[in-house]
Every structure is written in C-alpha cells, then in structure tokens.
Structure 1
Amino acid sequence: MHAEAKSTNPTLWHDLGAPITEPRRTLPDFGVLSSPPRAPDGRMPTPHRPLVIRVGKRLRRLVDRLIAAASLVPNHAVLDVRAFPWTAELRANWRAVRNEAIAIALVGEASPPLATISPDHRGIAEPGKWRSFFLHGYGYAIEENLARCPRTAALVAGIPNLNSAFFSILAPGTHIPNHRGVTKGLITCHLGLIVPRDGDVRMKIGDRIVRWAEGETLVFDDTHPHEVWNDTGGTRVVLSLQFRRPLRQPGRLIADLFLGAVRRSPFVQETRANLLRWNDAIRRRDG
C-alpha cells in the first residue's frame, strides 16, 4: 500500500475519502437531457429500445462465446495485471491522476450523475450516487475534459486500444446491483485513487470479492456478473479504463463489428449528447 498524500483542500477530501462538502451552486434547467420522470423508488426508468437493439442483446451471449474462444488472455473474471505492462505507468503516476481528480472531477457539478446522462444505466445507478467524469467514451474524446486533466490525458493516451476512460465516483452508501458489461471484446482496468478506510468498499465479480487500493490497478472482465458496495462514510474514486481485449482472428473481426454497432447505438450516442449538453450548461452557467 502506498503512503497517503495529504490533500491541500480538506473541504473536498481527507484521508478517509470524506464526502464532498463544497457548497453546490444551482444548475440551469437540464430538461434538455433525455430524462423521463422518476419511478416511485426514485430511480429513472430505463428507455425502451428499438427491436434491433433488443435482438442484439439476445445475440450477445453467442458473440461473447466466439470472442472468448479467440482470446489471447485468460477469460477469468479477474486478470493478472502483469499481462498488461502499461498498467505499471498508471501505478507510477497515480498521485498525479488523483490530484487532477480532486482538483477537477470532484469540484461542484463537473461530474454528472451517470443515471442522468446514460439512459441505459438508470436501472442500476442510484440517483446522484454514481457520478462520472468522462475523458473518452467508446472512442469519442471529450476534448474539454481532457484539456482540464493534462497529466491523466497523457497517461491514457499511451494505453493500447483504449475504448473509454473516466473518473468513477461513488458516494457513501452506494450500492450498484448485480449487472454485466456490454461485450467480452473489452477488458476493464481500475486505478484506485481515493479508497475510504472507515468501512468496506468492495466488488463481487463472479465468485470473487475484490477491493480497491490506492495506487493499485485492478483488471477484470466486466461481462462476469458484478456488484459493488461502498459501505463507508467516504467517497470512492477510481480511474476506470476500458480497452480492447487481445484477440486472434476471427475473434478480432467479430469484436470490432460488435463494438462498431455499439458505438453507433443509442446506448452511446444518447450518453455522448447528454454529456456534451451537461458540459455546455455548466460552461454557460459559469460564464
């Protein structure tokens, strides 16, 4: 475990990853976002998708089996970080990444609730408890956010076959129910940035329980069912990365075709549009 680096701004963070206490200003009207009325339990309903999307989801298991058969790395739920040498650079520079997360992503409304910008996450993302600051999303660079986090931007630029990169922020008491990722063609890496120590923050993936550590990387296959708890009084922050799984042919072709379809789908395009609207609204509010 790396030694703690002290924050220079205790209102945003302290050693236990305390909740953000900075006063929050009133946001402009975000009715432009695709946000239907909330259900009685407070969650926003997931959208009704076109038939082609629903059929695609049913074919996903077959596609994943074909991809798994062509994988050049194990198909385990949790993978050995040594199989991905570039993760060493993340671990060596984790404090610089954390400093940018604290200075940018954890300030005010910079990081929107995932349930607000991503309609397909509304079934699992508690309102306001899971927030994300996107740098890349399914191959789309969020240039404004990258410019605000130059050290992190430079690090993620060196990741082979990067698909997505964002700061994932879980408020105290957050529970993300069991779910699975979109495709086995992607692998996920988390770099621990702020991990509270006044309770238990963990993920169950497959039949394993894993925990984050500050300055350490966790590599896993999110198509295995997984569930997350932040049973602490603090805010958990990781740099979440997705990259293309190393594959032989024809798995590479199959995975690329599937990813291309996902990239063009409402799952990605609505989220991208909502994120850009969010950033624009913040920019207009702040003058």
Structure 2
Amino acid sequence: MSAGPEPAWATDGIAPMERPGWASRLFMRVVALAESLNRRQAILGNRRIFDTTDFPWAAELERDWRSVRAELDVVMARKRELPNVQDISVDAASINDDDRWKVFVFTAYGVRSPRNCARCPETWRLVQRIPGLQTAMFSVFEPGKHTPPHRGPYNGVLRLHLGLVVPEPRERSAIRIDQALQHWEEGRTLIFDDAYEHEAWNHTAQSRVVLFVDFVKPLRFPARALNALLLRLAVFTPFLREGEANLRRWEERFYR
C-alpha cells in the first residue's frame, strides 16, 4: 500500500446545495457513509495505483490489445465526428470545455450503446469479462490537451487505462495520480483509484488514445452490498438520464 496521508475524497469539503431537499440530504449522507465504509473495507487497500497482477483478467486485455487497436483504427478514421466528453456527460464540463477530449462510449453505468458495441465486437467481448464493469469507452486526448486536477465523484470504483495509441515522445503524455507520475504504454494497463486527485495531459503532436474502464472496487461486506446498491441507482440520476439522451442523439447522426 502506498504511504502518505489519507486523500481528500470527492465528497469531502463540498459545499451543500442552497436549502437542499430532504432527499438530497439523505442521498449525500448515504454516499458519505458508503465512502467511509469503502475506505475501511477495501480488500486491496486504499492504494493510489494498483498492481495489475491483482486483477488476473487484465492480462487478457494486454494479450489481445492489438485486436482492440485494430477496431480503434476503424473508429479513428471518423475521429472528427466523435463527441466531446462533455457532449455526452454534461458533468464533464467542469473539467473539459474544448474539443480536444473525444470519446467513443460502449457502456456507462447502465447506459449502453449497442451500435458502438457492434462496431467493435472484439473490444466489447473483452470488456464484458471485466468483473463489475461500469464504464468502457475509447478516450482520445488530442494534441495539447491537459485536464485540470480533479477527483472522481465516488470511491466505489477503480479505473483502468489500456494504452492503445501512445505518441512519441512518450514522456510528454502522462497522468499524475496524487504524487505519482505515470506514462502510458501501448498494450499495457494502468489501474488506479480516481478518488485521488489526478490530472492528465498530452503535450505531443499526435492523438493519445486509451481504453478507459471503470469497474467495481473489491470490497468486503457490508460495504460491497451498499456500493452495489448505489451503483445500480446511478442510472436514475439526472446526469445519467441526460447523458443517455445525448448519446442517442449522437448515435442517430453517426450511424445514419
């Protein structure tokens, strides 16, 4: 486990909404309880970066990464038509307000794109084998992209990046997770906890692309049960409902 002080998690220090309703207050309390339980009952500890050997299925992704890359190459032929991340997920506007972070979404917290999955069947086959899959998409950082420091909204998931296109010089594209600086490698996975502060950048002259996955954090009972409930409820939040509508509108344009 990494040494150092406990992080400031996403819900810590957030100012309450002005005169929130009882339902919002209750939800915030449940989330705070869940995050506290998750920290105490994380099977692999509260690491910033995880050893991929802790997740045997990650080896299959690395072994078959060229199949994923081949499907990505077909998608990238129409890169200009891909949506910006905030065009799909409106809450991403807090960290992205330009057209240099594009996505190709397979699934996101219960919202699935059957057309995108059919376009990349091998990629979809592989990600479905990830236990507790929540999100899977191609994430494209255009040259010059730099996301500001931020934290994920909830510590009940872990994040995986599988390097698919990592331009040279490799040292000029990176992600900082807390105090750890990591560089992507083609065909290699990086697994980290996005509830720690992180930022990412691509200061090369070409696009950087990863397979971006969120999956359920391994937890003991009862944290595991509460976490599962909250993740199932996520699909009913306004952000997810609006994101689904945005995805369907984009699909109609892209596949017409």
The TM-score normalised by the length of structure 1 is 0.77
Report the CA distance between 1:143 and its aligned residue.
0.6
Q: Name the counterpart of 1:201.
A: 173
Percent identity between the two aligned chains: 38
Task: Name which of 143, 162, 167 aligns with 2:114.
Answer: 143
SS in 2 for 1:263: helix
Residue 262 in structure 1 maps to residue 234 in structure 2? yes
Q: Deviations over 1:117-169 (max 9, x none)?
A: 21100011131111110111112321100000011111112111111100000
Distance 1:178 1:188 in 2: 16
Distance 2:84 2:52 in 1: 29
Q: Deviations over 1:195-233 (max 9, x none)?
A: 111361111111111111000000000011111111111
Task: Name which of 142, 146, 150 aligns with 1:179.
Answer: 150
SS in 2 for 1:175: coil
Distance 1:126 1:106 in 2: 24
Distance 2:26 2:76 in 1: 36
Given that 2:111 and 2:235 are in contact with CA atoms closer than 8 Å, whether structure 1 keeps it comes out as no
Point out the structure with the larger helix share: 2
Distance 2:111 2:74 in 1: 23
Distance 1:106 1:126 in 2: 24
Given that 1:104 and 1:110 are in contact with CA atoms closer than 8 Å, whether structure 2 keeps it comes out as no
Q: Name the counterpart of 1:100.
A: 71
Report the CA distance between 1:255 and its aligned residue.
0.7
Report the CA distance between 1:61 and its aligned residue.
4.2
Given that 1:170 and 1:236 are in contact with CA atoms closer than 8 Å, whether structure 2 keeps it comes out as yes
SS in 1 for 2:196: coil
Report the CA distance between 1:53 and its aligned residue.
5.3
Q: Name the counterpart of 1:249.
A: 221
Q: Name the counterpart of 2:35.
A: 64
Distance 2:232 2:186 in 1: 34
Residue 169 in structure 1 maps to residue 140 in structure 2? yes
Distance 1:109 1:149 in 2: 18
SS in 2 for 1:100: helix
AA paired with 1:174? Answer: K
AA paired with 2:50? Answer: L
Distance 1:130 1:57 in 2: 30
Distance 2:54 2:122 in 1: 24
- Alpha-carbon spacing, 1:106–1:65, altered in 2? closer, same or farther (3 Å): farther
Residue 273 in structure 1 maps to residue 252 in structure 2? no
Distance 2:28 2:202 in 1: 29
- Alpha-carbon spacing, 1:197–1:139, altered in 2? closer, same or farther (3 Å): same
Distance 2:25 2:190 in 1: 31
Q: Name the counterpart of 2:190.
A: 218
Question: Unaligned 5+ residue runs, structure 2?
Answer: 1-17
SS in 1 for 2:187: coil
Q: For the aligned residues, what is the CA RMSD?
A: 2.0
Residue 81 in structure 1 maps to residue 52 in structure 2? yes
Alignment of 1:13-28 (within 5 A): none
SS in 2 for 1:63: helix
- Alpha-carbon spacing, 1:129–1:66, altered in 2? closer, same or farther (3 Å): same
Report the CA distance between 1:109 and its aligned residue.
4.2
Question: Unaligned 5+ residue runs, structure 1?
Answer: 1-47
Report the CA distance between 1:54 and its aligned residue.
7.8
Report the CA distance between 1:59 and its aligned residue.
5.9
Given that 2:165 and 2:210 are in contact with CA atoms closer than 8 Å, whether structure 1 keeps it comes out as yes
Distance 1:94 1:217 in 2: 10
